[in-house]
Amino acid sequence: MSIDNLYQEIILEHYRHPQGKGISLENGVEVHHVNPSCGDEITLRAAIMDEKVGVSYDNTGCSISQASASMMWELVHGKPATEVLALEAEFLALMQSKGQGTDEDESLSDAIAFVGVSQFPARVKCALLPWMALKDALLQNLRSNNE
Amino acid sequence: MIDVAAVKRDFPILSQRVRANRELIYLDSAATSQKPESVINAVSRFYQNTNAAIHRGAHALAEAATVEFESAREKIAHFIGAQSHEICFTKNATESINAVTYMFLNETIKAQRGIQVENPHFALQAGDEIVLTQMEHHANLVPWQELALKTGAELRFIPLNTEGRLDLSDLESIINNKTRVVSFVHQSNFLGTINPVNSIINRAKQVGALTLLDACQSVPHLTMNVKSIDVDFAVFSGHKMLGPLGVGVLYLKDPNSAPVFLTGGSMIEKVTLEKSTYAQAPQRFEAGTQAAAEVIGLAAAVDYLEQIGMEVIHRHELALTKLALEGLMQIPQVNIIGPTDLQERGGIISFTLADLHPHDVGQVLDEQGIAVRVGHHCAWPICTYFNVPATTRASFYLYNDEHDVEMLVSGVTRTLDYFGVS
Ligand SMILES: Cc1ncc(COP(=O)(O)O)c(C=O)c1O
């Protein structure tokens, strides 16, 4: 198992040129998640407007967590909330697949590259950090919309 | 001089191949050390031949186990210049520090309830001060934060300077008449800095404060004598000094006047339904069935260290540190966090590499079989002070040699290549 599986070119590309980075959204629910074992941090703001999810974020951390945030942003920004939550579940399943992938991972498009990360247990939580933050912010949004 | 090739043969794990059949270069002894065969055998011999609950029962095994346990205690105590009854066993240094903070908390609560306390030194009042440093491991920070919260005492810190050493210029005002306890690290697990123990302890004594030394990174690597530094408490973990996991030590200068913290079986003198009196030290601090095999394993570790000699080990680590600092500092993208000279430092080197995240650095090193630690090393405030999210840390021990250092330095260069950093 080589680290080239971990650091696939598309991942390094997103790490070097992160998409959507910087808090640009003016309102929405803001969450702050950290990975206490390595100090990675993400601040993420999400809002649901006209059924569509708006996301912006800022983060520090390793290449895997930065690339994951960048690809996540590309994948979910402007999509309906239910679809975003389904993608989150799919990504989680991918990360738990220990390198096997899942049946429906095509929906993740470029983020399928993270299947390599799922072979490195110590790095799985790096990849999941932005997704956990997003899920937290979305669920808070949905709860407050229901109130 | 250490015959490292011979030493390596004593550590079965070090002959292992990792990842793509790489030789293992273990540079993470500050987190936990590897164990020589003699320690592994001492633990398994105990379970094969002697296993019984110590200090309980009069049968042959119980007697043999007790004798072995107590002679292990004696050996470990002597190793730090203490007497047997002055050390008690815990599960690790973290538990030892927590124990001392609970001594303070328990006596504070009793005093607040008007119950006579055995030792008024431990009863705190709002406005009393606890002095730590800015370079503490979380184990010597968070328990004191909790104590301060519960008692109204205030925390004060001896600050860092940019070199990664303590700035003692305001020591007289930081440690003052309100100071009740000063607790600090001997060698930093993050920076490698060895702190000026005597200056700090002397100042604490001038104001009548108790002192605690976190000796986790010094007892395994230096000659340590708790009497000559005249500290009130010292703590360390067996697993960082070739011993088994699960046993830590708390040294107490005046053990019979220190309040108990864990209570229950084995630590009592007399028990009635209403109240109990407690045994003399060290039993008064060792409630419940003890981890005898681990303690006996730790004594075997002390034998191993003594046979090589702590002075020899320290000099060996300094030579490797010199080589590593020279090699790393020739790489322009390396930034050492901590002292870059060999004065008052040990074999721990933290660094950052260009703007690569240490997690990524550690991964590429790991691919080459090189085990380092990445992260904040349980001393987050040091990262904050140096404004880095984390560092990569290499730490040396008696089983490392020049080849390991060369592998580290070339591994760092390879990491730069891997990520295309120039
Ligand atoms: C300086 C220092 N203090 C305290 C600790 C805590 O030791 P343990 O985790 O064995 O309780 C460590 C090790 O992690 C350390 O290096």
Average pLDDT taken over every residue of chain A: 92
Q: How far apart are CA B179 and CA B199, in angstroms?
A: 16
pLDDT band at A26 (very low <50, low <70, confident <90, very high): confident
- Closest atom of ligand 1 to CA, residue B95: 11
DSSP string, B15-70: G-EETTTEEPEE-BTTT-----HHHHHHHHHIIIII-S-TTS--SHHHHHHHHHHH
- Write the residue with the smallest CA distance to atom 16 of ligand 1: B189
- Write the residue with the smallest CA distance to atom 7 of ligand 1: B93
Q: Provide the 3-class DSSP secondary structure of residue B422.
A: coil
Residue B117: per-residue pLDDT = 87
- Give distance in angstroms: CA of A94 to centre of ligand 1: 35
Q: Which residues of A touch B358 (CB under 8 A)?
A: 38, 62
Q: Residues with Cβ < 8 Å from B303, sequence gap 6 or more?
A: B38, B75
The CATH architecture annotation of domain B4-30+310-419 reads Alpha-Beta Complex (3.90)
How far away is chain B from the Cα of A64, in angstroms, using its nearest Cα? 8
Q: Which of B357, B376, B383 sits opposite A62 (nearest CB)?
A: B357
- Tell me if chain B has a CB within 8 Å of the CB of A17: no
- Give distance in angstroms: CA of B398 to centre of ligand 1: 19
Q: How does pLDDT run across A61-79, given as a tens digit for each residue?
A: 999 999 999 999 999 999 9
Domains of chain B by residue range: 4-30+310-419, 43-306
How far away is chain B from the Cα of A118, in angstroms, using its nearest Cα? 14
Q: Which residues of A touch B20 (CB under 8 A)?
A: 1-2
Residue A147: per-residue pLDDT = 67
The reported pTM is: 0.95
How far away is chain B from the Cα of A56, in angstroms, using its nearest Cα? 21
Residue A54: per-residue pLDDT = 95
- Write the residue with the smallest CA distance to atom 14 of ligand 1: B31
Give ∠ CA B78-B84-B85 in degrees, rounded to 5: 145
- Give distance in angstroms: CA of B139 to centre of ligand 1: 6
Q: Maximum Cα–Cα distance for chain A, whole Å?
A: 49
Residue A102: per-residue pLDDT = 87
Strand A40-49 with B210-214, pairing: unpaired
Q: How far apart are CA B86 and CA B256, in angstroms?
A: 9
CB contact under 8 A, A3 and B375: no
> Which of B:317-376 have CB within 8 Å of A?
356-360, 363-364, 367, 374-376
B383 annotated active-site: no
Q: Are B187 and B346 in contact, with CB atoms under 8 Å apart?
A: yes
CA distance to B18, B80, B88, B247, per residue, from B398 (Å): 21, 19, 27, 21
What is the ipTM for the molecules in this complex? 0.90
- Closest atom of ligand 1 to CA, residue B189: 16
Q: How does pLDDT run across A87-119, given as a tens digit for each residue?
A: 999 999 999 999 999 887 788 988 999 999 999
pLDDT band at A36 (very low <50, low <70, confident <90, very high): confident
CATH for the B43-306 domain, from 3.20.20.70, 3.40.50.720, 3.30.479.30, 3.40.640.10: 3.40.640.10
Give ∠ CA B113-B119-B125 in degrees, rounded to 5: 50
- Write the residue with the smallest CA distance to atom 9 of ligand 1: B94
Q: How far apart are CA B30 and CA B227, in angstroms?
A: 25
CB contact under 8 A, B380 and A39: yes
Which residues in B336-346 are b (16+ Cβ under 10 Å) and which e?
A: bbbbeeeeebb
Strand partners, B386: none
CB contact under 8 A, B359 and A64: yes
Of the candidates B88, B216, B378, B383, the residue annotated as catalytic is B378
CB contact under 8 A, B390 and A2: no
Q: How far apart are CA B56 and CA B51, in angstroms?
A: 12
Q: Which of B20, B360, B389 sits opposite A39 (nearest CB)?
A: B389
Query: What is the CATH topology of the domain spanning A3-146?
Result: Sufe protein. Chain: A (3.90.1010)
Q: Which residues of A touch B375 (CB under 8 A)?
A: 37-39
Q: Which of B363, B376, B419 sits opposite A39 (nearest CB)?
A: B376
Domains of chain A by residue range: 3-146
CB contact under 8 A, B359 and A62: yes
- Tell me if chain B has a CB within 8 Å of the CB of A60: yes
Residue A56: per-residue pLDDT = 95
- Closest atom of ligand 1 to CA, residue B237: 10
Q: Where are the alpha helices (DSSP H) in B88-181?
A: 93-112, 142-151, 171-174
Mark residue A43 as left, alpha or beta (left: phi above 0; alpha: psi -120 to 50; beta: remaining). Answer: beta
Residue B101: per-residue pLDDT = 98
Pocket around ligand 1: residues whose beta carbon is below 6 Å from it? B 92-94, 137, 139-140, 185, 189, 214, 216-217, 237, 378
Strand (E) positions, B320-415? 334-337, 348-353, 370-371, 373-375, 391-395
Q: Are A59 and B388 in contact, with CB atoms under 8 Å apart?
A: no
Specify burial of residue B85 (Cβ count, 10 A radius: 0-12, 13-18, 19+). middle
Q: How far apart are CA B31 and CA B377, in angstroms?
A: 9
pLDDT < 70 positions in chain B: none
CB contact under 8 A, B390 and A39: yes
Supply B134's token pair. 């800015």
Residue A105: per-residue pLDDT = 76
Q: Which residues of A touch B363 (CB under 8 A)?
A: 3, 6-7, 120, 123
